[in-house]
Amino acid sequence: MKITFHGQSCFELHYENHQLIIDPFLNGNPLAKAKPEEIQAKWILLTHGHDDHVGDTVEIAKRNEATVIAPFELANWISWQGVDVHPMHIGGSHHFEFGRVKLTQAFHGSAHIDESKQQIVYTGMPAGLLLTLGEKTIYHAGDTGLFSDMKIIGMQNDVALALLPIGDNFTMGPEDALLAAEWVGAKQVVPMHYNTFPVIEQNPEAFVQRLEGKKIQGTVLSPGESMQI
């Protein structure tokens, strides 16, 4: 399985003949190397409705005739823009042709904010993702603070890779993300949601060093860089 990081919380996954992308924020992302028109994906997974996660979903979905998997309210809002969706909700799971998706809780917000109209459109509960492709389970925590039920996620799942926010201010910072990594029990951790904007600047290499001190393998991916798991 090939995983490519595109900055912020966006990851592209290639598994067998399946192509997926999570939270495709590319236009407006100062760290992203890829352009929306370069993305080939039949499945788009969204954790919540903030613009730095929904990003280029509609453009990518329409061009690829892709299906968007998202929490219920967000899926409905996206469907009104003319794309196919599969709505889910926290605690629920579903088997797709590429594998299994289960939504976990995440402690954050979820809304589309229209600055010109000073209008906020509520897009439901934010979520994390448990994505099982073949024998590997990936935990994309979404935007979240630390919560103790991460221990249950670790108890119930053999997590091969955890994608954890470390940016602080809006999500967990490095200290809490270290605890999250322990509680989830992931074999490997990749930090995300950092350095896109000044308020979330962090040192991912320092975070990975601290992970290794806890005997957890960590990997820093630069935007555009890929890894195999």
How does pLDDT run across 103-153, given as a tens digit for each residue?
A: 999 999 999 998 899 999 999 999 999 999 999 999 999 999 999 999 999
Q: How do beta strands 159-165 and 188-192 pair?
A: parallel
pLDDT of 60: 98
Note the pLDDT tens digit of each residue in 17-36. Answer: 999 999 999 999 999 999 99
Token readout for 107 is 């402690």
pLDDT of 81: 96
Give the confidence band of 168 by pLDDT, cuts at 50, 70, 90: very high
Note the pLDDT tens digit of each residue in 78-106. Answer: 999 999 999 999 999 999 999 999 999 99
Give the confidence band of 52 by pLDDT, cuts at 50, 70, 90: very high
Rg (CA), the chain: 16
pLDDT of 185: 97
**CATH (one of 2.130.10.10, 3.30.300.30, 3.60.15.10, 3.30.70.20) for 2-220:** 3.60.15.10
Where along the chain do its domains lie? 2-220
Q: How do beta strands 119-122 and 11-15 pair?
A: unpaired
Give the confidence band of 199 by pLDDT, cuts at 50, 70, 90: very high
- pTM of the full structure: 0.97
pLDDT of 160: 98
Average pLDDT, the chain: 97
**Distance between CA 36 and CA 166 in Å, rounded?**
25
Distant-in-sequence contacts of 27-33, Cβ < 8 A, 24+ apart? 27/55, 27/56, 28/52, 28/55, 29/55, 29/196, 30/196, 31/7, 31/195, 31/196, 31/223, 32/6, 32/7, 32/8, 32/223, 32/224, 33/6, 33/7, 33/223, 33/224
pLDDT of 97: 97
